[in-house]
Structure 1
Amino acid sequence: MPSDDDTPARTREETVALGVELLEHLEDDELPLPELIDRLETVTTSPAVTREVLDEAERRGVIDREDAVVRVHGSGFVRFDSQVIRREGDFSCRRCGAGITTGHFVRLDAGELGPFGSSCIRKVTGREE
Protein backbone atom coordinates (compact mmCIF):
# COMPACT_ATOMS: atom_id res chain seq x y z
CA MET A 1 0.00 0.00 0.00
CA PRO A 2 1.43 3.40 -0.92
CA SER A 3 2.21 5.85 1.83
CA ASP A 4 0.85 9.36 2.03
CA ASP A 5 4.35 10.50 1.04
CA ASP A 6 3.61 9.12 -2.44
CA THR A 7 0.48 11.22 -2.96
CA PRO A 8 0.41 14.41 -4.97
CA ALA A 9 0.76 17.50 -2.78
CA ARG A 10 -2.77 18.14 -1.49
CA THR A 11 -4.08 20.00 1.47
CA ARG A 12 -5.98 18.05 4.10
CA GLU A 13 -9.21 19.69 2.90
CA GLU A 14 -8.50 18.65 -0.72
CA THR A 15 -7.80 15.09 0.40
CA VAL A 16 -11.07 14.94 2.36
CA ALA A 17 -13.00 16.37 -0.62
CA LEU A 18 -11.43 13.78 -2.94
CA GLY A 19 -12.30 10.96 -0.53
CA VAL A 20 -15.91 12.10 -0.19
CA GLU A 21 -16.25 12.39 -3.96
CA LEU A 22 -14.81 8.90 -4.42
CA LEU A 23 -17.48 7.58 -2.03
CA GLU A 24 -20.15 9.46 -3.99
CA HIS A 25 -19.12 7.55 -7.12
CA LEU A 26 -19.00 4.02 -5.70
CA GLU A 27 -21.24 1.54 -7.48
CA ASP A 28 -21.97 -0.41 -4.30
CA ASP A 29 -25.10 0.41 -2.32
CA GLU A 30 -23.67 -1.15 0.81
CA LEU A 31 -20.17 -2.17 1.88
CA PRO A 32 -18.55 -3.63 4.98
CA LEU A 33 -16.48 -0.91 6.63
CA PRO A 34 -13.13 -2.68 5.96
CA GLU A 35 -13.87 -2.78 2.20
CA LEU A 36 -14.81 0.90 2.21
CA ILE A 37 -11.59 1.78 4.06
CA ASP A 38 -9.61 -0.29 1.52
CA ARG A 39 -10.94 2.01 -1.20
CA LEU A 40 -10.29 5.15 0.84
CA GLU A 41 -6.68 4.07 1.32
CA THR A 42 -6.20 5.02 -2.34
CA VAL A 43 -6.77 8.60 -1.19
CA THR A 44 -5.04 8.52 2.21
CA THR A 45 -3.52 6.03 4.60
CA SER A 46 -3.90 8.40 7.55
CA PRO A 47 -6.50 7.06 10.01
CA ALA A 48 -7.32 10.61 11.11
CA VAL A 49 -7.98 11.79 7.54
CA THR A 50 -9.97 8.62 6.79
CA ARG A 51 -12.17 9.40 9.79
CA GLU A 52 -12.61 12.98 8.51
CA VAL A 53 -13.65 11.64 5.11
CA LEU A 54 -16.21 9.30 6.70
CA ASP A 55 -17.54 12.01 9.02
CA GLU A 56 -17.84 14.54 6.17
CA ALA A 57 -19.48 11.99 3.86
CA GLU A 58 -21.99 11.15 6.59
CA ARG A 59 -22.64 14.83 7.29
CA ARG A 60 -23.37 15.41 3.57
CA GLY A 61 -25.68 12.40 3.35
CA VAL A 62 -23.35 10.44 1.06
CA ILE A 63 -23.16 7.52 3.50
CA ASP A 64 -24.91 6.11 6.56
CA ARG A 65 -22.92 4.02 9.01
CA GLU A 66 -24.39 1.34 11.21
CA ASP A 67 -22.05 -0.94 13.10
CA ALA A 68 -19.50 -2.19 10.55
CA VAL A 69 -21.70 -1.63 7.46
CA VAL A 70 -21.80 1.51 5.34
CA ARG A 71 -24.72 2.36 3.05
CA VAL A 72 -23.74 4.55 0.12
CA HIS A 73 -26.14 7.19 -1.23
CA GLY A 74 -23.92 8.47 -4.00
CA SER A 75 -24.68 10.52 -7.05
CA GLY A 76 -23.58 7.90 -9.55
CA PHE A 77 -20.78 5.68 -10.66
CA VAL A 78 -17.47 6.49 -12.33
CA ARG A 79 -17.96 6.65 -16.08
CA PHE A 80 -15.11 4.68 -17.60
CA ASP A 81 -15.51 6.35 -21.00
CA SER A 82 -15.14 9.90 -19.69
CA GLN A 83 -13.78 9.83 -16.12
CA VAL A 84 -11.08 7.16 -16.37
CA ILE A 85 -8.07 8.06 -18.47
CA ARG A 86 -5.11 5.87 -19.32
CA ARG A 87 -1.52 6.98 -19.52
CA GLU A 88 1.50 4.98 -20.56
CA GLY A 89 4.63 5.16 -18.39
CA ASP A 90 6.34 3.56 -15.44
CA PHE A 91 3.93 3.68 -12.51
CA SER A 92 3.22 1.96 -9.22
CA CYS A 93 -0.42 1.07 -8.63
CA ARG A 94 -1.86 3.29 -5.92
CA ARG A 95 -3.88 0.42 -4.50
CA CYS A 96 -1.59 -2.63 -4.58
CA GLY A 97 1.84 -1.14 -5.28
CA ALA A 98 2.52 -3.31 -8.36
CA GLY A 99 4.66 -1.92 -11.15
CA ILE A 100 2.49 -1.04 -14.16
CA THR A 101 3.12 0.46 -17.58
CA THR A 102 -0.47 1.58 -18.21
CA GLY A 103 -1.87 3.73 -15.43
CA HIS A 104 -5.61 4.28 -15.04
CA PHE A 105 -6.51 7.60 -13.44
CA VAL A 106 -9.95 8.66 -12.17
CA ARG A 107 -10.86 12.28 -12.85
CA LEU A 108 -13.18 13.70 -10.22
CA ASP A 109 -14.18 17.31 -9.61
CA ALA A 110 -12.06 17.31 -6.44
CA GLY A 111 -8.96 16.04 -8.27
CA GLU A 112 -7.35 13.10 -9.98
CA LEU A 113 -6.82 9.76 -8.30
CA GLY A 114 -4.38 7.11 -9.48
CA PRO A 115 -2.52 5.49 -11.04
CA PHE A 116 -4.18 2.09 -10.82
CA GLY A 117 -3.64 -1.13 -12.69
CA SER A 118 -6.44 -2.57 -14.82
CA SER A 119 -7.85 -4.83 -12.09
CA CYS A 120 -7.38 -2.35 -9.22
CA ILE A 121 -9.27 0.43 -11.04
CA ARG A 122 -12.25 -1.91 -11.21
CA LYS A 123 -11.96 -2.77 -7.49
CA VAL A 124 -11.61 0.87 -6.43
CA THR A 125 -14.71 1.89 -8.38
CA GLY A 126 -16.73 -1.17 -7.31
CA ARG A 127 -16.90 -2.83 -10.70
CA GLU A 128 -15.23 -5.98 -9.41
CA GLU A 129 -15.25 -7.73 -6.06
Structure 2
Amino acid sequence: MTERTDRVELALDLLAHLETDELTLADVVDRIETVTTDPSLTREILDAAEMRGVIDRDGARVRTRRGGTFVRFESQVVVREGEFECRRCGAGLSTGHFVRFDSGELGPFGSSCVRKVLGRE
Protein backbone atom coordinates (compact mmCIF):
# COMPACT_ATOMS: atom_id res chain seq x y z
CA MET A 1 0.00 0.00 0.00
CA THR A 2 1.05 3.57 -0.56
CA GLU A 3 1.23 6.15 2.20
CA ARG A 4 -1.80 7.90 0.66
CA THR A 5 -3.82 4.68 0.67
CA ASP A 6 -2.73 3.98 4.26
CA ARG A 7 -3.96 7.44 5.32
CA VAL A 8 -7.31 6.94 3.58
CA GLU A 9 -7.80 3.58 5.32
CA LEU A 10 -6.83 5.02 8.71
CA ALA A 11 -9.27 7.93 8.30
CA LEU A 12 -12.04 5.55 7.21
CA ASP A 13 -11.42 3.43 10.31
CA LEU A 14 -11.65 6.58 12.44
CA LEU A 15 -14.92 7.68 10.81
CA ALA A 16 -16.36 4.18 11.17
CA HIS A 17 -15.65 4.27 14.92
CA LEU A 18 -17.07 7.72 15.74
CA GLU A 19 -19.43 7.52 18.69
CA THR A 20 -21.95 10.05 17.50
CA ASP A 21 -24.83 9.79 15.05
CA GLU A 22 -24.48 13.15 13.33
CA LEU A 23 -21.81 15.82 12.93
CA THR A 24 -21.33 18.96 10.93
CA LEU A 25 -19.08 18.63 7.90
CA ALA A 26 -16.62 20.92 9.72
CA ASP A 27 -16.51 18.51 12.69
CA VAL A 28 -15.88 15.56 10.37
CA VAL A 29 -13.06 17.47 8.64
CA ASP A 30 -11.64 18.26 12.12
CA ARG A 31 -11.42 14.50 12.74
CA ILE A 32 -9.93 13.78 9.31
CA GLU A 33 -7.28 16.46 9.94
CA THR A 34 -5.83 14.20 12.66
CA VAL A 35 -4.82 11.95 9.74
CA THR A 36 -4.12 14.51 7.00
CA THR A 37 -4.38 18.22 6.29
CA ASP A 38 -4.10 17.75 2.52
CA PRO A 39 -7.38 19.12 1.05
CA SER A 40 -7.41 16.72 -1.92
CA LEU A 41 -6.86 13.74 0.38
CA THR A 42 -9.59 15.00 2.72
CA ARG A 43 -12.02 15.08 -0.22
CA GLU A 44 -10.88 11.59 -1.28
CA ILE A 45 -11.52 10.32 2.27
CA LEU A 46 -15.00 11.89 2.38
CA ASP A 47 -15.88 10.43 -1.03
CA ALA A 48 -14.56 6.98 -0.08
CA ALA A 49 -16.43 7.07 3.25
CA GLU A 50 -19.67 7.86 1.46
CA MET A 51 -19.11 5.24 -1.27
CA ARG A 52 -18.35 2.54 1.34
CA GLY A 53 -21.40 3.44 3.40
CA VAL A 54 -19.45 4.73 6.41
CA ILE A 55 -21.21 8.11 6.28
CA ASP A 56 -24.16 9.82 4.60
CA ARG A 57 -23.69 13.46 3.61
CA ASP A 58 -26.58 15.90 3.46
CA GLY A 59 -25.20 19.34 2.74
CA ALA A 60 -23.26 20.49 5.78
CA ARG A 61 -24.52 17.57 7.94
CA VAL A 62 -22.93 14.13 8.07
CA ARG A 63 -24.62 11.07 9.54
CA THR A 64 -22.44 8.21 10.65
CA ARG A 65 -23.40 4.60 9.97
CA ARG A 66 -21.44 2.87 12.70
CA GLY A 67 -23.16 -0.46 13.03
CA GLY A 68 -21.89 -0.87 16.60
CA THR A 69 -18.18 -0.31 15.98
CA PHE A 70 -17.01 1.66 18.99
CA VAL A 71 -13.41 2.06 20.10
CA ARG A 72 -12.80 0.00 23.21
CA PHE A 73 -10.70 2.27 25.41
CA GLU A 74 -9.37 -0.64 27.47
CA SER A 75 -7.89 -2.48 24.48
CA GLN A 76 -7.73 -0.06 21.53
CA VAL A 77 -6.37 3.07 23.21
CA VAL A 78 -2.73 2.71 24.22
CA VAL A 79 -1.19 5.19 26.66
CA ARG A 80 2.53 5.95 26.44
CA GLU A 81 4.73 8.25 28.47
CA GLY A 82 7.15 10.49 26.60
CA GLU A 83 7.43 13.81 24.82
CA PHE A 84 4.56 14.16 22.34
CA GLU A 85 2.53 16.77 20.50
CA CYS A 86 -1.24 16.26 20.25
CA ARG A 87 -2.29 15.61 16.62
CA ARG A 88 -5.53 17.48 17.21
CA CYS A 89 -4.67 20.61 19.19
CA GLY A 90 -0.86 20.74 19.03
CA ALA A 91 -0.38 20.85 22.81
CA GLY A 92 2.77 19.38 24.33
CA LEU A 93 2.09 16.08 26.10
CA SER A 94 3.96 13.93 28.57
CA THR A 95 1.31 11.21 28.19
CA GLY A 96 0.14 10.31 24.69
CA HIS A 97 -3.03 8.38 23.84
CA PHE A 98 -2.83 6.32 20.63
CA VAL A 99 -5.84 4.64 19.01
CA ARG A 100 -5.23 1.25 17.39
CA PHE A 101 -7.30 0.39 14.33
CA ASP A 102 -6.96 -2.52 11.92
CA SER A 103 -5.38 -0.11 9.42
CA GLY A 104 -2.82 1.35 11.84
CA GLU A 105 -2.32 3.57 14.85
CA LEU A 106 -3.52 7.16 15.17
CA GLY A 107 -2.11 9.61 17.68
CA PRO A 108 -0.77 10.89 19.90
CA PHE A 109 -3.65 12.74 21.52
CA GLY A 110 -4.15 14.28 24.92
CA SER A 111 -6.72 12.67 27.20
CA SER A 112 -9.50 15.12 26.30
CA CYS A 113 -8.66 15.27 22.57
CA VAL A 114 -8.78 11.48 22.15
CA ARG A 115 -12.32 11.53 23.57
CA LYS A 116 -13.29 14.46 21.33
CA VAL A 117 -11.84 12.82 18.20
CA LEU A 118 -13.79 9.62 18.89
CA GLY A 119 -17.03 11.48 19.63
CA ARG A 120 -17.22 10.75 23.36
CA GLU A 121 -17.43 14.47 24.20
**Range class of TM-score, shorter chain:** over 0.9
Query: In the comparison of the two structures, how many residue pairs are matched?
Result: 119
Quick one: percent identity of the two aligned structures?
65
Alpha-carbon distance in 1 for matches of 2:56, 2:82: 39
Matched residue, 2:114: 121
**What per-residue deviation string (whole Å, max 9, x for no partner) do you get for residues 25-53 of structure 1?**
00011101001110110000011111111
- The yes-or-no answer on 1:59 pairing with 2:54 is no
- Paired position in structure 1 for 2:74: 81
Letter in 1 for 2:64: V
RMSD after superposition: 0.9
What do the CA deviations read for 1:36-94 (whole angstroms, capped 9, x no partner)?
11011000001111111111111110101011000100241111011000000000001
What amino acid is the match of 1:67? G
1:112 CA displacement: 0.2
**Which amino acid counterpart does residue 97 of structure 2 have in structure 1?**
H
User: When the two structures are superposed, what TM-score results if normalisation uses the length of structure 1?
Assistant: 0.90
After superposing on structure 2, the runs of 4+ consecutive aligned residues of structure 1 that deviate more than 3 Å are none
Q: Letter of the aligned partner of 1:116 in structure 2?
A: F
Give the Cα–Cα distance (whole angstroms) in 2 for the partners of residues 14 and 103 of structure 1: 22
Q: Secondary structure at the match of 1:48?
A: helix
